[in-house]
Amino acid sequence: PTARDPLNFREHLDAGLGAWKVAELFLWSTNEANQLVDIGGTIERKIDALGHHASQFRSFEEIARWVRRRSEELGERVGYRAAEGFRRVTLAR
């Protein structure tokens, strides 16, 4: 949200860009998702990408199963094969 403040991003002004006021935030990793995005066509790609960070997990296989299961559960709520949930916050303008 600080993109609206030209003092934070002087290089934007130097490049001829004006300040920008963010209208919405999409917060990831929430238990209170109010915005579900269809990822049915990309769920395997998402899991493959997580695999590049396998050293961060004790058992990547468990993480992959959890991500797939959670995505499918969220997708069921809205008729998608898989979904990713976000907490959508609308900011005052």
Per residue in 8-53, pLDDT (tens digit) is 888 888 999 888 888 999 999 998 999 999 999 999 999 999 999 9
In a domain, 50, yes or no: yes
Residue 66, pLDDT > 90, answer: yes
Full residue range of the structural domain in which residue 51 is found: 24-90
In a domain, 56, yes or no: yes
β-sheet bridge partners, residue 38: 83
d(CA 75, CA 69): 10
Strand boundaries in 1-93, DSSP class E: 24-28, 35-38, 83-90
| Lowest mean pLDDT across 55-59, 78-82, 83-87 | 55-59
Q: What is the average pLDDT value for the chain, to the nearest integer?
A: 92
In the chain, how many domains are there?
1
Both structure tokens of 5: 């403040």
Selected residue with higher pLDDT from 64 and 93:
64
Residue 16, by phi and psi: left (phi above 0), alpha (psi -120 to 50) or beta?
Answer: left
